[in-house]
Amino acid sequence: MLQLENVTVKVGPKVILDDVSAAFHAGKMNLIIGPNGSGKSTLVKAASKQLTFDGGSVKYNGNDIKNMTYQQLATFRAVLSQQTEVAFPLKVWEVVMMGRYPHFTTQPGSRDEQAVEEAMKYFNVWPMAERDYVTLSGGEKQRVNFARVLSQIWFSEQGQMRYLLLDEPLTFLDVNFQYQFMHRLEEFMQKNAMVVVGVVHDLNLAARFADSILLLNEGKVLVQGTPQEVLTPGNIEKAFNIKPEILKQKDSFYISF
Amino acid sequence: MPFSRKYLTIWILLAIVLIVVFFLSLSFGAIHINAREIFSSLSNYFSGEALSLDERIFLDIRLPRAINCLLVGASLAMAGVLMQALFRNPIVEPGLIGTSSGAAFGASLYFVLGATLHFNVGTWTLPIAASAGGALATFLVFVLSYRKEKSQSVILLLLTGVAVNALCLSGVGLMSYLARDPQARSITFWNLGTMSGSSWNSVIIIGVSTSLCTIFALRMTKSLNALAMGESEALHLGVNINKLKISVIAITVILVAVATAFVGVISFVGLIVPHLLRLIRGSDNRYLLLGSALLGAILLSLADLTARLLLAPAELPIGIVTSVIGVPVFILLLRRNQHYF
């Protein structure tokens, strides 16, 4: 379980996250939504020890993040962000192998190579292993990064719970890749015990894939619960300032504006 | 099949070339020394027998100079690899964060005001003045670009480097203006770089510092690889970014300041060498660091041979040789890497 307890983050006098408490459970697709500037990315940054916060605590399986080094954290927690550019010409497999860096000191072992190969096959980038990362298209690059990030937590180390944080990883992808990735992620979650917390923009995507949704507004938790509980016309209008229409169809539902 | 890069082949090839070039640079110069004389001078030295003039020249001048070329070339090239990885930019040179120009200012202060201020501690004075200048200028760049709230910004660091470089160079200019003729000549000569002052003293100092720096730098290559994807990605892969930055800058300052202190300003080695290696076999920093040490040693030895032989028996400053080769390569790099700006 990933737990945020009264987390407060300020930048200068501005409060970005205001006393946020939330719990994210294993085996569930936990998605975070909210309008621009509501603190979604900051929440992921706080949870991944990327910034220091002004109050509260983040706990992985009950252990305070303050007592963990970046190296320790990296062995069981991976983070995927919007877009990753590399500064030098690197081959695709070299980029994916970076996901295994927390697990070896100088040379990758056979386990690392196995994780990289399996993750690359899982996201269908194995055929481009020898290509230069810089020459890939945006969609191909992001698939390579999915493979890199999942290779980081491909195996559970000594039964340790694994965590995957997603910071709007689907933003620059077309709709086909978005759904492909979410399906692959769902599949991976079914086979491996792990905690997934992801920020997404698209409310319909959240409605379709989330087990639990956290709606942030102005740095505060507006509501956390199932898609049916969270995605009500009242909540959406309050956060996004636009009146939605909810279309129900059997057990799925759609939001239209 | 991925996962293999065959770095070892490149390293071995470079090492063989290095040995050949080393013997060339031992043999050629104002006087020619052949292989038999090299061995006789070494055996005579170790058995304590009297040495001929040629053998003395070889042992006291030629040999330390050839070794220094290897050490300084390796230092400057490795510093280039480290800086480029840290700044995530293939056109960065150690000179950009003030180290070289600071050292030049320190040296020119010594040349002009050393006698007046009675600042003199023997043969060590110039190296000390230059190292102090280099370290101070780098420290200044670092402090001025430091941000308490946020993490270090590379652009801020580079622009501060430009400003501090300008300040140091105007300091060098002022000293040249104040200097009398022989002092001004010393400043000029030192700013152009020369291997002719190499002694066993300098070999030992540069040798120890370069070896230590290499060992520490090798331990950072994996983290520097991760940094190629940006600071936050490296952080997520378990790299302590701030610690890494400080260590890399400290190692670079030592590598560049110590070398510069003894041989003067030699530019573009740190730029050309890593670039050539990237063309051969990619950007893995572990490969680049050791490869640069070898190729840097080779290229600087060749540059020194050129400097010695082109106008023999007179000598060309080695900095001029490296600049004549380096500037076109630099411009080519700028034009080919426009997407990095």
Q: What would the pLDDT profile of A104-135 be if each residue is shown by its tens digit?
A: 988 889 999 999 999 999 999 999 999 999 88
Residue B212 to residue B208: CA distance in whole angstroms: 6
Residue A213 in tokens? 């949704």
Mutation target to probe the A interface, by most A beta carbons within 10 A, among B237, B275, B285, B337 is B237
For residues B119-133, give the mean pLDDT.
Answer: 76
> B253 falls in which pLDDT band (50, 70, 90)?
confident
For residues A211-229, give the mean pLDDT.
Answer: 92
Q: Indicate the SS3 state at residue A240.
A: helix
For residues B175-191, give the mean pLDDT.
Answer: 82
Mutation target to probe the A interface, by most A beta carbons within 10 A, among B1, B3, B219, B339 is B3
CA distance A89 to chain B (A): 6
pLDDT of res. B118: 67
pLDDT of res. B153: 66
Q: If we measure between CA atoms, which residue out of B300, B78, B304 comes closest to residue B211?
A: B78
Residue B151: pLDDT over 60: no
Q: What is the ipTM of this complex?
A: 0.90
Alpha-carbon distances, residue A206 vs A183, B87, B240, B270 (angstroms): 13, 38, 34, 50
Stated pTM of the model = 0.87
pLDDT of res. B222: 92
**Among B3, B230, B239, whose Cβ lies nearest the Cβ of A70?**
B239
Whether residue A98 and residue B226 make contact (CB cut-off 8 A), yes or no, is: yes
pLDDT of res. B196: 82
Interface of B with A (CB under 8 A): 2-3, 88-90, 222, 225-226, 228-230, 232-233, 235-240, 278, 282-284, 286, 340
Q: Indicate the SS3 state at residue A58.
A: strand
Q: If we measure between CA atoms, which residue out of B298, B307, B259 comes closest to residue B94?
A: B259
Residue A192 to residue A150: CA distance in whole angstroms: 11
Cβ pair A91, A98 in contact under 8 A: no
pLDDT of res. A128: 94
Percent of chain B with pLDDT over 70: 92
CA distance A71 to chain B (A): 4
- Average pLDDT of the residues of chain B: 85
The residue of chain B with its CA nearest to that of A114 is: B3
**Among A88, A99, A129, whose Cβ lies nearest the Cβ of B278?**
A88
Residue B72: pLDDT over 70: yes
Q: C-alpha dihedral over A196, A201, A207, A209, to 10 degrees?
A: -30
Which chain B residues are closer than 8 Å to A91 by Cβ? 2, 282
Percent of chain A with pLDDT over 70: 100
Whether residue A93 and residue B284 make contact (CB cut-off 8 A), yes or no, is: no
> B341 falls in which pLDDT band (50, 70, 90)?
very low
